[in-house]
Amino acid sequence: MIEDEELRSLYKIASEEHLQNLEAGLLHLEKDPHDLQRLQEVLREAHTLKGDSRMLGVNDVEALTHQIEHILGQLKENDTVLQNGMSDRLYQGLDAIRQLVKEAITGEPSGVNTLAVLALLMGANPPSPAEPPPEVEETALETVSEEASPPEPLPQVEETPTEVISGELIPPSPVAVAEKPSVAPVPQKPLLPPQNSSYRIDSVRVETRNLDALMTQAGELTVTKIRMAHHIAELEELTNLWEEWSRQTHNSRFALETNLTQLQNLQQRHEERLQTLGELVNRLRARASEDVARLEAIASELESGIRTLRLLPLSNLFNLFPRLVRDLAKQQGKKVNLVLEGGETKADKRILEEMKDPLMHMLRNAIDHGIESPAEREALNKPQAATIRLKGYQIGNSIIIEIQDDGRGLNLEQIQQTALKRGNWRKEELDAMTPQQIQALIFAPGFSTRQAVTEVSGRGVGLDVVRTNVERLKGNIQVESTPNQGCHFRIQLSTTLATVSVLIVAVEGRPYAIPVEFVQTSLLVPERDIFSIEGRETIALEDRAISVVRLVELLNLPPGESQSIYQNGQLPCIILQVGSERLGVIVDDLIDEQDVILKPQSKLLKRVLNVSGATILGTGEVCIVLNPQDMIRSVQKKTAIAIAASQVAETTAITPAVILLAEDSIATRTQEKRILEAAGYRVVAAVDGLDAYNKLRSGRFDAVVSDVQMPNLDGFALTARIRQHPEYNELPVVLVTSLASDEDKRRGAEAGASAYLTKGTFNQDALIETLRRLIV
């Protein structure tokens, strides 16, 4: 019997749901045995029930469910169908599981002979079409990829930081039975609640769809509030019109006194009607204002109340993982301490449901890929027991979940090789990427560095599922890794899931919405300040080069004649930031900031690139809500393709000399790059000496132009390192620096510089002439 009362109640509800879905799935497969999608769903149900039972120590249910999962997995692998005799045995297995679940909940003996039921189920194993039935091994056999499964019950944990140290575990496996004992029919009894002398309902279980419907209605109230605010604005215009009309009528009264009597009577009736109109307008405006204020208060209270009902502490989610980490660590012969922090932080129940599988997958990856064996850690002067830290906290309107380990970190070279092998990227595209962009490749669909399929990894379902789930929750995920120090994942999620605050922009006369949590700032960019770096439009902001893209081009909209309302070449630009990546988006106009309801995309459209969904504005217009993560990835992909295409084209045409420019100041680097490109050279820019050295080793260059005072590796050291390689003995190296003393010039000559130009007397003709003289 499960000791914890809350876990017992949750297990009862969840297991009954899984058993019902399993039975319904088997019934469907009997009628349509070739429905592979439904077979996959049934596999997931069995896999989830097995996982729940394992975590709660219900070993008999775990063993039987594992055998059912094994049978269904063989159906999928061998491309065979469910047969009548096989399904009868599976139903009896489900009946036995139902009675064992009741035993775990009530403590009443079920009378089920688990070994006998296992023997019965093993008789249902489908034979392989090419081989005899396989012998059952004594090791765990997983047949289901770790894809996102339906939400599972979330047990309660302590609110204080917790440490769980890995221990012994022998994974379950299909049990080999020497002799099949006789199997009595499994009794079929309904699962009844315990008998009590007094009946009292202490809590009410609310179906999630009802809460979701209420949340949607609360959001609709917000839209109605916005629409009424527009009505008030129209009433204000009507009031202003009445006041102006009234003033004009009053002023014309004196002129009419000298006219005919009938005109005076007309004027009197005119004034009476104006007065009546004014009273009605003012009364309507006052009542509308009161209604909006009341509606706003009701909507806010309703939304807050429903959101409170849905809030659960993150400990409900975090408590699922200590047993998982312990079991996996021991299974792989590793030692891992799991530290839980921030369990008291509350989040919407949907966040807990949707994040269970992504976090489980990331923890499994950390143990399998990131954590070294005790011997390896000892050789690296690390503690034998690794530490994985799972932490949650709230910042503003965002929930942050972090997973950090002290393992080996990401292997950039291995990631690049895997990307090349799988055909995701070409070598030229990878060479143009920053280390952060290479690290982000682990979120690509189907990306896995594991060569062999194991129980834990190598199933072709990677971190792209994690990213998909996170983005479905209007969030984003970033990764930072340091070799031999570990890996750090940071997931940022919005606390509000029904409504979203957006910035409304206009392009080609149409409104588009951008979630404000990804908007760093907005500014007007003079068109003359946009320059080109490696084929992409760029601006300088805070001494950093930021790619910019015109939204009309990014969305592939047909060209129109609309122009920005700003004159003198000033372009409205939105700076988006997703993690450490930033992108400038040029639009036609900035309209407003609003709270809107995000309508998910139609099932007919499924997933549209660069689009999160749609909403209806207060004016009644349909407005597309853009996806900033997609937008940044789209620009990066186009840039990488453009660079690769240009490099390919250069191999088949007469190419200009290539200059490697090393300069840490973005302003100076931009100026020198423009000078060199205007002279016909192709320029590859580096942000410091170390960056220049790495680029030099991976490419072909005709000359190097370098500053001297730079971080990481200065110009003197860069020149000396270049001259250490015989193949670079004749490579021209020009130092351009503000250091003008004879001693500095001597140091440059000793390092091996071909020319030394000082910025105090610098002019572009001297630089160009020097390069033309040196490049043969």
Q: Which run of H or E residues covers position 499? A: strand 499-507
Fold annotation for 155-171+208-409: Heat Shock Protein 90 (3.30.565)
Chain-centre distance for alpha carbon 309: 26
Question: Environment class of residue 357 by beta-carbon count within 10 Å: exposed (0-12), middle (13-18) or buried (19+)?
Answer: buried
Three state DSSP letters for 326-369: HHHHHHCCCEEEEEEECCCCEEEHHHHHHHHHHHHHHHHHHHHH
Fold annotation for 656-774: Rossmann fold (3.40.50)
What 3-state class would DSSP assign to 239?
A: helix
- Taking alpha carbons only, the member of 470, 473, 496, 493 closest to residue 361 is 470
Average confidence score pLDDT of the chain = 76
Least confident of 138-147, 627-636, 649-658, 705-714: 138-147
- Is it the case that residue 533 has pLDDT exceeding 90? no
- Taking alpha carbons only, the member of 29, 40, 50 closest to residue 97 is 50
Residue pair 283/121 in contact by the 8 Å Cβ criterion: no
- Is it the case that residue 680 has pLDDT exceeding 50? yes
How much is the pLDDT for 599? 66
Give the number of C-alpha atoms closer than 13 A to the C-alpha of residue 39, restricted to the C-beta side.
23
**Chain length of the chain:** 776
Q: What average pLDDT does this structure show over 5-27? A: 83
Question: Environment class of residue 502 by beta-carbon count within 10 Å: exposed (0-12), middle (13-18) or buried (19+)?
Answer: buried
pLDDT per residue as tens digits for the range 626-650: 988 888 888 877 766 665 555 555 5
Least confident of 67-81, 381-395, 436-450: 436-450
- Taking alpha carbons only, the member of 572, 577, 594 closest to residue 629 is 577
- Taking alpha carbons only, the member of 503, 508, 547, 553 closest to residue 525 is 547
pLDDT band at 341 (very low <50, low <70, confident <90, very high): very high
- Taking alpha carbons only, the member of 721, 704, 703 closest to residue 712 is 721
What 3-state class would DSSP assign to 738?
A: coil
Chain-centre distance for alpha carbon 482: 21
Residue of 79 and 393 predicted with greater confidence: 393
- Is it the case that residue 688 has pLDDT exceeding 70? yes
* Distance separating alpha carbons of residues 579 and 629, to the nearest angstrom: 10
Q: What average pLDDT does this structure show over 34-53? A: 87
pLDDT band at 596 (very low <50, low <70, confident <90, very high): confident
* Distance separating alpha carbons of residues 733 and 677, to the nearest angstrom: 18
Residue pair 448/457 in contact by the 8 Å Cβ criterion: yes
How much is the pLDDT for 178? 34
Tokens of 228: 């009424």
How much is the pLDDT for 439? 85
How much is the pLDDT for 513? 92
* Distance separating alpha carbons of residues 95 and 112, to the nearest angstrom: 10
pLDDT band at 55 (very low <50, low <70, confident <90, very high): confident
Least confident of 18-27, 174-183, 642-651: 174-183
Residue pair 105/194 in contact by the 8 Å Cβ criterion: no
| Dihedral of alpha carbons 507, 513, 516, 519, sign | negative
* Distance separating alpha carbons of residues 705 and 663, to the nearest angstrom: 9
Tokens of 360: 């489980």
Q: What average pLDDT does this structure show over 360-383? A: 91
- Is it the case that residue 263 has pLDDT exceeding 80? no
pLDDT per residue as tens digits for the range 273-282: 777 777 777 8
Tokens of 459: 């199933």
pLDDT band at 174 (very low <50, low <70, confident <90, very high): very low
* Distance separating alpha carbons of residues 74 and 93, to the nearest angstrom: 17
- Is it the case that residue 162 has pLDDT exceeding 50? no
What 3-state class would DSSP assign to 510?
A: strand
Least confident of 19-28, 337-346, 613-622, 709-718: 613-622
How much is the pLDDT for 158? 38
* Distance separating alpha carbons of residues 127 and 131, to the nearest angstrom: 7
- Specify the CATH superfamily of domain 499-637: CheA-289, Domain 4 (2.40.50.180)
Q: What average pLDDT does this structure show over 499-520? A: 87
| Dihedral of alpha carbons 195, 196, 199, 202, sign | negative
What 3-state class would DSSP assign to 56?
A: helix
What 3-state class would DSSP assign to 485?
A: coil
Q: What is the greatest pairwise CA distance in the chain?
A: 123
Residue 522: strand pairing partners:
574
How much is the pLDDT for 292? 76
Q: What's the Cα-to-Cα distance from 253 to each of 22, 130, 240, 270, 275, rounded to whole Å?
A: 86, 105, 20, 11, 15
pLDDT band at 88 (very low <50, low <70, confident <90, very high): confident
Least confident of 43-52, 74-83, 698-707: 74-83
- Residues with Cβ within 8 Å of 278's Cβ and at least 6 positions away in sequence, in order, are 242, 243, 246
Three state DSSP letters for 518-583: HEEEEEEEEHHHCEEECCEEEEEECCEEEEEEEHHHHCCCCCCCCCCCCCCCEEEEEEEEECCEEE
Q: What is the arrangement of strands in the sheet containing 531-533, beginning at the earlier edge strand?
A: 519-526, 570-578, 581-586, 544-550, 536-541, 531-533
What 3-state class would DSSP assign to 9?
A: helix
Helical packing angle, 84-106 and 5-31, nearest 10°: 170
* Distance separating alpha carbons of residues 628 and 323, to the nearest angstrom: 37
* Distance separating alpha carbons of residues 11 and 155, to the nearest angstrom: 9
- Residues with Cβ within 8 Å of 382's Cβ and at least 6 positions away in sequence, in order, are 372, 406
Percent of the chain with pLDDT over 90: 15
Same fold for the pair 155-171+208-409 and 499-637: no
- Is it the case that residue 413 has pLDDT exceeding 80? yes
Q: What's the Cα-to-Cα distance from 697 to each of 206, 686, 694, 700, 753, rounded to whole Å?
A: 63, 13, 5, 8, 18
pLDDT per residue as tens digits for the range 93-105: 998 999 999 999 8
* Distance separating alpha carbons of residues 363 and 522, to the nearest angstrom: 38
Least confident of 65-74, 451-460, 696-705: 451-460
How much is the pLDDT for 317? 86
**Would you list the DSSP string of 128-196?**
PSSSPPPPPPSS----S--PPPPP-------SS-EEEE--------PPP-SS----PPPP----PPPP-
Residue pair 161/340 in contact by the 8 Å Cβ criterion: yes
Query: With respect to CATH, is domain 5-133 assigned 1.20.120.420?
Result: no
Bridge-based pairing state of the strands 335-341 and 755-758 = unpaired
How much is the pLDDT for 640? 63
Chain-centre distance for alpha carbon 572: 27
pLDDT per residue as tens digits for the range 110-142: 888 989 888 888 875 665 444 443 343 333 323
Amino acid at the residue 55:
M
How much is the pLDDT for 455? 45
Tokens of 197: 């002398």
Residue 28: strand pairing partners:
none
Neighbouring C-beta atoms of residue 739, cutoff 10 Å: 19
Q: What is the dihedral of CA 372, 375, 379, 380, to 10 degrees?
A: 20
* Distance separating alpha carbons of residues 57 and 92, to the nearest angstrom: 22
How much is the pLDDT for 496? 67
- Taking alpha carbons only, the member of 362, 465, 347 closest to residue 400 is 347
* Distance separating alpha carbons of residues 658 and 698, to the nearest angstrom: 13
pLDDT per residue as tens digits for the range 521-530: 988 888 888 8
How much is the pLDDT for 141? 29
Percent of the chain with pLDDT over 70: 76
- Is it the case that residue 449 has pLDDT exceeding 80? no
Q: What average pLDDT does this structure show over 654-678? A: 84
- Residues with Cβ within 8 Å of 512's Cβ and at least 6 positions away in sequence, in order, are 504, 505, 506, 551, 555, 587, 623, 624, 625, 626
- Is it the case that residue 392 has pLDDT exceeding 50? yes
Give the highest mean pLDDT range of 301-305, 653-657, 713-717: 713-717
Where along the chain do its domains lie? Answer: 5-133, 155-171+208-409, 499-637, 656-774
What 3-state class would DSSP assign to 428?
A: helix
How much is the pLDDT for 377? 93
pLDDT per residue as tens digits for the range 195-207: 333 323 334 456 6
